[in-house]
Amino acid sequence: GITYDHGLVGAVICSMYGLAAFLAGRFFAGRWRRTALPAATDFINIRFGRRILNFYTIYRGGYLCINGLSLYALAVMLCPLIPLAEGNLLRDEATGMLSVDWACIILAAIVIGYTTLGGLWAVLITDMLQFIVLTLCVVAVVPLIIVKAGGVMTVVHNAPDGFFQPTAPGFSAIFLVGWLLINLFNLGAEWTYVQRHLCVPTPRDAQKSMYLFGALYLTTPFLWMAPPFVFRTIQSGIDPQEAYILACKSVLPAGMIGMMIAAMFSATASSLSSSLNMYAGALTDGLYKRYIRPDASDAQSVFIGRWFTFLIGVYLLAGALVFPRLGEYRDVLISVLSLSLASLLLPTVWALYSPKVGSRTVLWTLLVGIPIIVVYKFAFSETGWLAGNRFLYNLNHFVSAHRRESDLIVGIVVPLAILLISELRRGGADSGWIQSKERIAEFQKRDTQDRADEQLPLKVFAWSLGLLGTVVAGLTILANEQVITLASISFILLASCLFLVALLRKRAT
């Protein structure tokens, strides 16, 4: 939507993830892996204590439902493709298409189901598969949409003023820097990303995975965002949230559109599945096994973990259904992340390096920082609590005129200031730092990697590519148009499958 409205800045915002990934790889990924801990929750428990871990789990749980907005975003793109007859229970009477609410419910049910059955392997395999399929689809869309628009020079000529600028109103250079920092904290301390840092064989592997992430996110956004960018020069005035899928629909055969939607769903599902797995595990270990049944068997823990997965999935679905009714989902998402993410994550990355950060600092950051942010949010604007104060007129006017930048500045500066004050006031090392050094040393001594099943995901991935290639080959035979495009994609998928099969056989020998 941002790309359709404002142009190049949409891709530039996405590329901030890439810069953040390079910094996270340099400063955080290897350091996390060197701890040899099983999960981020173990670090919180050792470094700050069980009470802070429980507090974090509950506090982060309240913020978790915002992730449900990704389901809503996918549903908005999916629904314009599915017209339904009058009287259909799933029909939105206003549009004649599949209801967005029902689409969210169906998508959530699929995510909950395959996460419950597949666990972390399901997440990792869908990550790989959706990347290949989505990249192939977008690579096919870009030249086709440019040709439909009349060529590159026609796109340049018909683009609105400022469409090629890296910034736009509401998305200034200050916003981009703040967004970079927010995503740096996210990649360095969000439990789902930390789990990826911890599950690789060596610290160097953790760094390389982040560097690859960064390289891809620095370059590919300019490819991904080309369809809505070009489509703006073809058709203006449509709902920006639907621009991407309508651009693809205008040039891709029906079968390829379905495959692209499936890949987009896979990308969304992998992110949500990571959250479901992580929080279900935290609740199973921290609540069920600690307080309800300490002597629970592995089978009982798995059963309860699946129930927690289901309940958290319903909670995410509630976020998908409720938050869009509070305003445009894009603005809700940016505002919540800008204001709350640093307070949640900055103490953890700070504690990786500083011996002075303790449990009290975490509590101060959350219990003092968040209320300050809330007061700012509702007090400083032209319609806020302090709108009538003439001494604060200029400040209120600035906040109203630069809402996104102000949210990021306050959301980052407040927790950073609390941590700096704590760092300067504290004389010696926190007891949690000393204890964590001893416990981490124990984990490092028994750090081993089980490689028994390392071939399994590669096998599933290879045969999935083969199946997709076969399906696209069938579409090529049945298609009346874009035959060359379909045949090329089928060839790439089948060739990739054969390459991986040959690689697996070589490893087996």
Residue with tokens 């319903």, as numbered in its chain: 314
pLDDT tens, residue by residue, 49-58:
888 888 887 7
Cα 233 versus chain centre, distance: 29
Kindly list the distances between the CA atom of residue 482 and the CA atoms of 75, 271, 334, 476, in Å, as whole numbers in the listed order: 27, 32, 38, 8
Q: Which carries the bigger pLDDT value, residue 161 or residue 252?
A: 161
CA distances from 273 to 74, 79, 260, 280, 382 (A): 15, 22, 19, 10, 40
Q: Identify the DSSP state of 288.
A: I
What local confidence, expressed as pLDDT, does residue 451 receive?
A: 46
pLDDT at position 176 over 90? yes
User: Rounded to two decimals, what is the model's pTM?
Assistant: 0.80
DSSP 406: H
2-449: in CATH 1.10.150.670: no
Residue 452: predicted pLDDT: 44
| Averaged pLDDT score across all residues of the chain | 82
- Amino acid 270 reads S
**Sign of the four-CA dihedral 432, 434, 437, 438:** negative
Give the residues across from 168 on adjacent strands: 171
Most confident among 14-28, 162-176, 247-261, 401-415 (mean pLDDT):
14-28
Angle subtended at Cα 270 by Cα 451 and Cα 276, rounded to the nearest 5 degrees: 90
Write down the pLDDT at residue 120: 59
For residue 455, give the H/E element and its range.
Answer: helix 455-478
Worst-scoring range by mean pLDDT, 214-218, 347-351, 380-384?
A: 380-384
Say yes or no to pLDDT of 227 above 80: yes
Distance CA 337, CA 159 (A): 31
Mean pLDDT across the stretch 236-264? 79
Whether 465 shows a pLDDT value over 60: the answer reads yes
Select from 466, 501, 465 the least CA-distant residue to 129: 465
Q: Are 75 and 103 in contact (CB under 8 A)?
A: yes
Q: What DSSP character marks residue 425?
A: H
pLDDT at 254 over 80: no
DSSP string, 491-509: HHHHHHHHHHHHHHHHHH-
Buried b (16+ CB within 10 A) or exposed e, 347-373: bbbbbbebbbbbbebbebbbeebbeeb
Please tell me the distance from the alpha carbon of residue 130 to that of residue 64, in angstroms, as a whole number.
23
Token pair listed for 325: 């009714």
Domain boundaries, the chain: 2-449, 456-509
User: How far from chain centre, in Å, is Cα 88?
Assistant: 33
- The number of residues making up the chain comes to 509
Please give the pLDDT value at position 246: 85
Determine the average pLDDT of the residues in 153-180. Answer: 89
Find where tokens 């980052």 sit: 412
How far apart (Å, rounded) are the C-alpha atoms in residues 246 and 101? 20
Which residue in the block uniquely carries the two structure tokens 């005129």? 401
Q: Residue 231 corresponds to which amino acid?
A: F
pLDDT in tens, 363-401: 888 888 888 887 887 777 666 677 667 777 677 777 777
pLDDT for the residue numbered 328:
67
- Residue 14 C-alpha from the chain's centroid: 11
DSSP assignment of 121-169 = HHHHHHHHHHHHHHHHHHHHHHHHHHHHHT-HHHHHHHSPTTTT-S-BT
Q: According to the model, what pLDDT value does residue 16 have?
A: 94
pLDDT value, residue 506: 81
Q: Look at residues 469, 465, 487 and name the one whose alpha carbon lies nearest to residue 478.
A: 487
User: Token pair of 435, please?
Assistant: 């204890």
Residue 23: the pLDDT is 96
pLDDT at 475 > cutoff 60: yes
Q: Which of 203, 250, 190 is nearest to 481 (CA)?
A: 250
Q: What is the pLDDT of residue 251?
A: 82
Task: Pick the more confident residue, 475 or 189.
Answer: 189
Could you read off the pLDDT of 102-152 as tens digits, one per residue? 999 998 888 888 777 665 565 666 666 677 777 777 777 888 888 888 888
Q: How many CA atoms lie within 13 A of 19 on its CB side?
A: 13
Would you say residue 231 has pLDDT above 70? yes
| pLDDT at res. 32 | 92
pLDDT classification of 28: cutoffs 50, 70, 90: very high
Burial class (CB in 10 A: 0-12, 13-18, 19+), 31: middle
| CB 320, CB 91: distance < 8 Å | no
Residue in the block written with tokens 């379909």: 486
Cα dist from 204 to 32, 187, 212, 315, 474, whole Å:
11, 16, 12, 37, 43
Q: Measured between alpha carbons, how far is residue 420 from residues 23, 222, 388, 413, 458 in Å?
A: 21, 37, 33, 10, 46
Are residues 64 and 229 in contact, defined by beta-carbon separation less than 8 angstroms?
no
Q: How far apart are CA 88 and CA 381, in angstroms?
A: 45
Reduced to 3 states (helix: H, G, I; strand: E, B; else coil), residue 78 is helix
Task: For residue 357, give the amino acid letter.
Answer: V
How many other β-carbons are positioned within 10 Å of the β-carbon of residue 485? Answer: 22
Whether residue 59 has pLDDT greater than 80: no
Other beta carbons within 10 angstroms of residue 164's beta carbon come to 12
Distance in angstroms (rounded) separating the CA atoms of residues 279 and 428 = 33
